[in-house]
């Protein structure tokens, strides 16, 4: 194992903010990770596991060790009728894994095409888009306890998934490194999920009446590329905020005052609000302060035009939260992890 000192994080986080880590190392197997976690230096300094760096904002230099998961590999582990169980290692790029599934006609993750980040980061915030969440196909998560170095299997129920939430963000936060995930997908699927309006509209535009999973994947890729900035060209971490979920009674009052408010029904007497709409109504869409900005096509996304520091992006997010609170009385929560 090799530790690098004063390591730039600009190219390994999708915000591309100019920050440094005191030390950096990576692992390509569970046994390498064991070696790293047992190293004496880990007792002296704080450390953090990083995946694709697509859901994190460093607001300053990191005074510890960044350990990056680079375990690669995808394998079919079991087939039962039309069910197929596929294990993907944590360091695989999520989108590459989706493309593997689509090309083999294994259905279930096609709506999650083009989500940045790695497979290992997926379960932490239960990645989701266009009517599908990772929890819908996740069978098992394999993770190493950073203290005992034991490998544990978490079933879908063990993970306690919620909207952009899981046990790995809650009671087990910081205790495990996700090594691999196993998904239960469907071979040669007969059905696709086009419940999200923009997906069915895009398929119509594409002139496709009976879509395959490859068509749905293509539609999602088209939508995402037209609305969401490519992190390789413009630094960002996808949705910066969560869509707030409020009680139906509070929603009714807001709707009286703002009849055009965009919302979706949520579970248990709640309504989910489109945070992008709230932010846009406050006049933030397309605004720029120095090199930090609110994206011009999707107000839920904060961007780095070049040299923004993590602190500048954080400060912008605080201003956005303040105006939404003032205008709508709704508290936005950051989805991106602040370090």
Candidate list 134, 299, 324, 332; residue touching ligand EPU; CB under 6 A: 299
**What residues from 260 to 279 belong to the interface with ligand EPU (CB under 6 A)?**
262, 274, 276-277
129 binds ligand EPU (CB under 6 A): yes
Catalytic hit among 110, 133, 202, 335: 335
Pairing of strands 235-239, 301-304: antiparallel
Candidate list 121, 244, 335, 339; residue touching ligand EPU; CB under 6 A: 335
164 annotated active-site:
yes
52 binds ligand EPU (CB under 6 A): no
Query: Nearest distance from residue 113's CB to ligand EPU, in Å?
Result: 10
Answer for the pair 245, 269: CB distance below 8 angstroms, yes or no.
no
How far apart are the C-alpha atoms of 271 and 265, rounded to whole Å? 5
Q: How far does CA 157 lie from the centroid of its chain?
A: 20
CA distances from 196 to 102, 129, 167, 241, 292 (A): 19, 9, 27, 20, 31
User: Which span sits near ligand EPU by CB under 6 A: 32-40, 62-70, 75-83, 234-242?
Assistant: 234-242
Choose between 87 and 218: whose C-beta lies nearer to ligand EPU.
218
243 binds ligand EPU (CB under 6 A): yes
3-class secondary-structure state, position 74: strand
Catalytic hit among 68, 164, 224, 334: 164
330 binds ligand EPU (CB under 6 A): no
> HSE on the CB side for 174, CA within 13 Å?
5
Q: Which two tokens stand for residue 104?
A: 């083999």
Answer for the pair 68, 50: CB distance below 8 angstroms, yes or no.
yes
Q: How far does CA 222 lie from the centroid of its chain?
A: 19
Catalytic hit among 239, 312, 317, 334: 239
316 binds ligand EPU (CB under 6 A): no
335 annotated active-site:
yes
Q: Which two tokens stand for residue 174?
A: 């910081």
202 binds ligand EPU (CB under 6 A): no
285 binds ligand EPU (CB under 6 A): yes
239 annotated active-site:
yes
**What residues from 159 to 198 belong to the interface with ligand EPU (CB under 6 A)?**
196, 198
Beta-bridge partners for 180: 89, 142
217 binds ligand EPU (CB under 6 A): no
How far apart are the C-alpha atoms of 112 and 95, rounded to whole Å? 8
Query: Nearest distance from residue 197's CB to ligand EPU, in Å?
Result: 8
Query: Nearest distance from residue 230's CB to ligand EPU, in Å?
Result: 13
Choose between 115 and 178: whose C-beta lies nearer to ligand EPU.
115
**Burial (0-12, 13-18, 19+ Cβ within 10 Å), 42:** middle
Query: Nearest distance from residue 276's CB to ligand EPU, in Å?
Result: 2
Q: What count of other Cβ atoms lies within 10 Å of the Cβ of residue 6?
A: 10
Phi, psi (5° rounding) for residue 324?
-65, -40
Q: Which residues are catalytic?
A: 164, 239, 335
Residues at the interface with ligand EPU (CB under 6 A): 129-130, 196, 198, 227-228, 238-239, 242-243, 262, 274, 276-277, 280, 285, 298-300, 335
């Amino acid at each position: 194992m090799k530790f690098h000192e004063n390591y730039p994080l600009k190219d390994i986080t999708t915000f591309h903010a100019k920050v440094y880590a005191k030390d950096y190392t990576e692992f390509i197997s569970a046994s390498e990770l064991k070696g790293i976690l047992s190293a004496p230096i880990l007792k002296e300094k704080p450390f953090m596991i990083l995946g694709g760096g697509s859901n994190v904002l460093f607001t300053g230099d990191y005074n510890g060790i960044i350990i990056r998961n680079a375990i690669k590999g995808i394998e079919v582990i079991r087939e039962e009728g039309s069910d197929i169980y596929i294990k993907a290692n944590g360091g695989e790029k999520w989108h590459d894994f989706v493309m593997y599934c689509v090309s083999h006609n294994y259905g279930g993750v096609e709506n999650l095409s083009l989500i940045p980040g790695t497979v290992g980061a997926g379960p932490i915030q239960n990645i989701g888009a266009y009517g599908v969440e990772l929890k819908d196909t996740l069978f098992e998560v394999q993770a190493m306890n950073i203290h005992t170095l034991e490998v544990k299997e978490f079933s879908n129920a063990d993970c306690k998934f919620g909207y952009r939430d899981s046990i790995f963000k809650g009671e087990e936060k910081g205790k495990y490194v996700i090594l691999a995930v196993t998904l239960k997908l469907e071979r040669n699927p007969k059905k696709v999920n086009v419940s999200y309006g923009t997906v069915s509209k895009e398929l119509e535009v594409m002139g496709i009446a009976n879509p395959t999973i490859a068509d749905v994947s293509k539609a999602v890729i088209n939508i995402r590329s037209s609305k969401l900035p490519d992190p390789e060209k413009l630094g960002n971490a996808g949705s910066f905020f969560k869509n707030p979920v409020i009680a139906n009674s509070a929603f009714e009052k807001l709707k009286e005052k703002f009849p055009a408010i965009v919302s979706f029904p949520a579970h248990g007497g709640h309504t989910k609000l489109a945070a992008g709409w709230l932010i846009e109504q406050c006049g933030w869409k397309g605004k720029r302060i120095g090199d930090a900005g609110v994206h011009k096509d999707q107000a839920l996304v904060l961007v780095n035009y070049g040299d923004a520091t993590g602190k500048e992006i954080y400060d912008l997010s605080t201003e956005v939260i303040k105006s939404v609170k003032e205008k709508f009385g709704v508290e936005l929560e950051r989805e991106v992890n602040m370090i």
